[in-house]
A = this chain, B = another copy of it.
Amino acid sequence: MTHDIYRHMMTEAGSPMTVTVSPTTIEDLEDGQVLVEVAGCGVCHTDLGFYYEGVRTRHALPLCLGHEISGRVIAAAQDMTALLGKAVVVPAVIPCGECDPCRAGRGAICATQFFPGNDDHGGFASHVVVPGKGLCAIDEELLAASGVDLASLSVIADAVTTPYQAILNAGLKPGDLAIFIGIGGVGSFGVQLAKAMGAHVVAIDVDTERLEGIRDYGAEHVIVSGEDFRAIKKEIRTWAAEREYPMTGWKIFETSGHPGGQALAVALLGYDAHLAVVGYTRAKIEVRLSNLMAFDATMRGTWGCLPEHYPAVVGHVLRGDVRLDEFVEKFPMSQLNEVFSDLHSHTLKKRPVMIPDFSPQPS
């Protein structure tokens, strides 16, 4: 059987993406690969980095972007037929599982990892060809009971799992103080996860509407960001002291991907602090590195999330600990160029998820 794969192709930075069609048959799948019919694909700031900032994709252009994919397996190579028909989330980073770093639990730096929309065509498409290994199969009874649809689960592939991995890397424990800077497409899920994992959560953003929106979803305290970093640190210290929350060992999650947010995150460092760099920007900031020494503190970056942690995150979503639909907005995939533009100009408040709406070509 032949499947026509429609893809929004990026040809060069900033040029409108245009749709191409590639007929694909099961013979085109290599060992280990499956064909996923896309239910939804989230738009991430990493995509904007490729599209607007000239960050280079590992696969040469033209390339179909998109790495936050959920869907259903409709064809599979012989060794992957167990996945046929399954609803899945496709991890944004799929390590090979066999190299030395993978065997040492460091799949994030696997040199042959597969990153859809970067190593090969991604999810702004009707279908995507991906390695079956590492896909996270979804229990459809639990999914139906949760009221969440498969398309919304797409954001798990990066926006929800990346802060989860950062939380694990930070060693977050119940009772810890967690501070999220940037309550956008990533931070809003990070706040909910940290709360579900027992932390006291402070949310910081420049946008008061976003801050009000996160109060009911795990943020015990919200702070409007500004340039007086000392005042913000003092406010958190006072608030924490009044509640007998920890004054040291703060877990700080920078998810804004803006230099101002990063500078604030660094200014909030204190004794035994852990700063997780989750948001991306090419900009540099000024840092007094020796503060890490004086505070015996750590800054750590997180690249994706190991597929082995996806079931735990899906569990949080299906149990309702982490709400997706309040923080996701769906668009027909034909509006992809407009959504990129709106996300880039900060006019979207929620994580956009693109829903395929390709019209079959007349045969």
Measured CB to CB, the residues of A under 8 A from B are 101, 106, 108-109, 248-249, 254, 257, 262, 266, 271-272, 277-303
CB distance from A281 to the nearest CB of B (A): 6
**Nearest residue, chain B, Cβ from A295:** B301
In the complex, the answer to whether B285 meets A279 with C-beta atoms within 8 Å is no
A277 partner residues in chain B, CB cutoff 8 A: 289-290, 292-293
26 chain-A/chain-B pairs, Cβ below 8 angstroms: A101-B248, A101-B249, A106-B249, A106-B272, A106-B296, A108-B272, A109-B248, A109-B249, A109-B272, A109-B296, A281-B290, A282-B288, A284-B286, A284-B289, A286-B287, A287-B289, A289-B299, A290-B301, A292-B300, A293-B301, A293-B302, A293-B303, A294-B301, A296-B302, A296-B303, A298-B299
In the complex, the answer to whether B296 meets A298 with C-beta atoms within 8 Å is no
A272 partner residues in chain B, CB cutoff 8 A: 101, 106, 108-109
Please, how many angstroms separate the alpha-carbon atoms of A236 and B17 in the complex?
41
Please, how many angstroms separate the alpha-carbon atoms of A266 and B299 in the complex?
12
A286 partner residues in chain B, CB cutoff 8 A: 284-287
A271 partner residues in chain B, CB cutoff 8 A: 109
Please, how many angstroms separate the alpha-carbon atoms of A284 and B291 in the complex?
10
Which 6 interchain pairs have the tightest Cβ spacing? A292-B301, A293-B301, A109-B271, A296-B303, A108-B296, A284-B286
**Nearest residue, chain B, Cβ from A297:** B301
Please, how many angstroms separate the alpha-carbon atoms of A303 and B297 in the complex?
9
A295 partner residues in chain B, CB cutoff 8 A: 109, 301, 303
In the complex, the answer to whether A285 meets B289 with C-beta atoms within 8 Å is yes
A282 partner residues in chain B, CB cutoff 8 A: 288, 290
A281 partner residues in chain B, CB cutoff 8 A: 289-290
A289 partner residues in chain B, CB cutoff 8 A: 254, 262, 266, 277, 281, 284-285, 287, 299, 301
A300 partner residues in chain B, CB cutoff 8 A: 292, 297-299
A296 partner residues in chain B, CB cutoff 8 A: 106, 108-109, 301-303
A294 CB contact (under 8 Å) in B106, B249, B254, B303: B303
A283 CB contact (under 8 Å) in B248, B257, B288: B288
Given A271-B109, A303-B294: A287 and B287 within 8 A (CB)? yes
Given A109-B271, A298-B298: A290 and B101 within 8 A (CB)? no
**Nearest residue, chain B, Cβ from A304:** B296
CB distance from A86 to the nearest CB of B (A): 29
CB distance from A193 to the nearest CB of B (A): 18
CB distance from A292 to the nearest CB of B (A): 3
Please, how many angstroms separate the alpha-carbon atoms of A283 and B293 in the complex?
13
CB distance from A259 to the nearest CB of B (A): 9
Please, how many angstroms separate the alpha-carbon atoms of A298 and B297 in the complex?
11
A287 CB contact (under 8 Å) in B254, B284, B297, B303: B284
Please, how many angstroms separate the alpha-carbon atoms of A301 and B286 in the complex?
17
CB distance from A270 to the nearest CB of B (A): 9
Please, how many angstroms separate the alpha-carbon atoms of A108 and B300 in the complex?
19
**Which among A248, A278, A290, A300 has the greatest number of chain B C-beta atoms within 10 A?**
A290
Known: A286-B287, A297-B301, A299-B299. 17 other contacts (CB 8 A): A101-B272, A106-B272, A108-B272, A109-B248, A109-B272, A266-B289, A277-B289, A279-B293, A280-B293, A285-B287, A287-B287, A287-B289, A289-B301, A290-B301, A293-B303, A297-B300, A298-B299
A292 partner residues in chain B, CB cutoff 8 A: 277, 299-301
